[in-house]
């Protein structure tokens, strides 16, 4: 599904209206959010909004360098804004997003795209299982919402498409999933019919917006004005009709927004985008499906300069508790089997990185620069038998890594 949409995006390249000063003659380059099920809609809204604003546009491929099935990297999105595109369409924003470190600008929302609870319309297609199994997308708001429902067994799936598929194939009785994924699935499988209701959770409510690089405030204002016009004259409603959440779903959404935008009206952050990213993690049996770290591909690459810099950051911020030789003092060792097993580790590079970047160093938790955390991770990996390569590790590539961390001999 995703591949089809992305290749569709790659094929589309259209220009209309006048070229905005400062942009290449091909017009403003608009990418779509990688892997999003709403790509077709995002492109349609892009064409119409830019036409209404009188700005030439070219639709660039949705996939950027450095993003893959392991997750969408906000850093990479930021980088893509400038290299491969000027605007990202279909950027999901939430009122509970963590507003930490993005400098992006955002348009008003053009589609309310929330998390919904979905079941099959045709009862015969439902699974015969006695327990209430709920499918949710791993490491997404769907998981947060699903876990808050009482007396359910979770079936965690890797992508929104697979989450809907789990329901369609009878692996689950219900699915908590992002509504655009339901629409996309229904378009691809017209024989499937779903019942959709809302989920009353602060994590459920999302909007699709355009994201701009920090230098494009003027462009952002023009697109906002165009979207306002499209809302007023009904164009937007017509374009999004197929994608709009049914009233049954809207009704159950939280009546009042409990959380203001933490990131201000035109800024967003990491976790809103990260949270929607799907991780490539297989499913295990049992009631609560745990992360199985036995597969996950290659570890993220890091380079020698990072190891060297990570070593100096370590000496200044970590050695006091973990020891100058990573041997452990009053905090655990960070090398060898006392840090991670030599094989079959149940912890991943991303898991270790996530804990470190949130809670370490203990006297200044989360206060280091994200580059320093990435360099520390490079130093830790190198100290546990991982070789340096030529590509730099980023905080996002480290965090997204589902590769098990097995401690080998030091380098």
Name the site residues for another protein (rule: CB under 8 A).
96-98, 139, 143-144, 147-154, 202-203, 259, 262, 271-272, 275, 286-288, 290-291, 293, 321, 327-333, 336-340, 346-348, 351-352, 354-355, 358-359, 362-366
Nearest approach, Cβ of residue 153 and another protein (Å): 6
**Which C-beta is closer to another protein: that of 225 or that of 321?**
321
Nearest approach, Cβ of residue 147 and another protein (Å): 5
Is residue 43 within 8 Å of residue 12, measured between CB atoms?
yes
Nearest approach, Cβ of residue 135 and another protein (Å): 14
**At CA 187, angle to CA 181 and CA 188, rounded to 5?**
90
Nearest approach, Cβ of residue 350 and another protein (Å): 9
Beta strands in 250-302 (DSSP E): none
| Per-position DSSP letters for 355-411, written without gaps between them | HHHHH-STTSTT-S-HHHHHHHHHHHHHHTTPPPBSSPP-HHHHHH---B-------
Nearest approach, Cβ of residue 303 and another protein (Å): 26
**Which C-beta is closer to another protein: that of 8 or that of 262?**
262
Nearest approach, Cβ of residue 223 and another protein (Å): 26
The answer for residues whose C-beta is within 8 angstroms of residue 11's C-beta and 6 or more apart is none
**Which C-beta is closer to another protein: that of 189 or that of 284?**
284
CB neighbourhood size of 83 (10 A)? 12
**Which C-beta is closer to another protein: that of 251 or that of 338?**
338
The end-to-end CA distance of the chain, in Å, is 42
Residue 211: closest CA among 357, 36, 17: 36
Tokens of 342: 């030599």
What span, in angstroms and rounded, lies between the C-alpha atoms of 224 and 375? 39
| Per-position DSSP letters for 24-86, written without gaps between them | -TT-EEEEE-TT-TTHHHHHHHHHHHHHHHTB-EEE--SPPTT-BTTB--HHHHHHHHHHTBS
Nearest approach, Cβ of residue 221 and another protein (Å): 27
Backbone angles phi, psi at 223, to 5 degrees: -70, -40
**Which C-beta is closer to another protein: that of 154 or that of 184?**
154
Nearest approach, Cβ of residue 335 and another protein (Å): 9
Sign of torsion over alpha carbons 30, 33, 34, 40: negative
**Which C-beta is closer to another protein: that of 221 or that of 327?**
327
Tokens of 232: 């007023």
**Which C-beta is closer to another protein: that of 246 or that of 323?**
323
Q: Which helix (H) or strand (E) holds 182?
A: helix 179-188
**Which C-beta is closer to another protein: that of 199 or that of 220?**
199
């Amino acid at each position: 599904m995703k591949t089809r949409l992305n290749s569709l995006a790659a094929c589309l390249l259209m220009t209309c209206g006048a070229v905005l000063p400062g942009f290449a003659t091909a017009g403003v380059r608009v990418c779509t959010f990688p892997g999003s099920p709403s790509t077709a809609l995002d492109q349609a809204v892009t064409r119409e909004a830019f036409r209404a604003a009188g700005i030439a546009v070219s639709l660039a491929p949705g996939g950027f360098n450095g993003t893959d099935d392991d997750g969408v990297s906000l850093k990479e999105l930021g980088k893509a804004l400038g290299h491969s595109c000027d605007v990202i369409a279909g950027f999901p924003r939430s009122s509970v997003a963590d507003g930490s470190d993005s400098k992006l600008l955002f348009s008003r929302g053009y589609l309310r795209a929330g998390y919904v609870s979905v079941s099959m319309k045709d009862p015969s297609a439902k699974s015969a299982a006695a327990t209430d199994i709920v499918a949710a997308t791993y490491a997404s708001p769907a998981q947060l919402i699903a876990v808050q429902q009482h007396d359910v067994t979770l079936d965690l799936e890797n992508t929104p498409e697979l989450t809907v598929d789990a329901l369609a194939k009878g692996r689950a009785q219900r699915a908590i999933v992002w509504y655009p994924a339901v629409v996309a699935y229904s378009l691809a499988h017209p024989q499937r019919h779903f019942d959709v209701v809302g989920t009353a959770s602060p994590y459920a409510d999302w909007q699709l917006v355009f994201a701009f690089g920090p230098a494009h405030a003027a462009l952002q204002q023009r697109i906002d004005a165009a979207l306002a016009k499209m809302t007023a004259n009904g164009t937007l409603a017509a374009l999004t009709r197929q994608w709009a959440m049914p009233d049954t779903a809207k009704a159950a959404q939280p009546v009042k927004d409990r959380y203001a935008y933490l990131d201000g009206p035109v800024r967003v952050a990491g976790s809103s985008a990260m949270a929607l990213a799907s991780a490539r993690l297989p499913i295990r049996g049992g009631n609560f499906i745990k992360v199985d770290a036995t597969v996950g591909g290659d570890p993220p690459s890091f380079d020698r300069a990072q190891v060297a810099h990570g070593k100096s950051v370590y000496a200044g911020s970590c050695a006091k508790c973990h020891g100058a030789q990573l041997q452990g003092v009053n905090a655990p060792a960070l090398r060898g089997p006392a840090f991670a097993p030599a094989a079959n580790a149940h912890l991943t590079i991303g898991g270790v990185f996530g804990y470190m970047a949130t809670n370490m160093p203990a006297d200044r938790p989360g206060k280091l620069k994200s580059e320093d955390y990435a360099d520390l991770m490079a130093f830790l990996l190198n100290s546990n038998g991982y070789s340096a390569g030529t590509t730099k590790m980023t905080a996002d590539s480290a965090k997204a890594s589902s590769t098990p961390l097995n401690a080998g001999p030091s380098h």
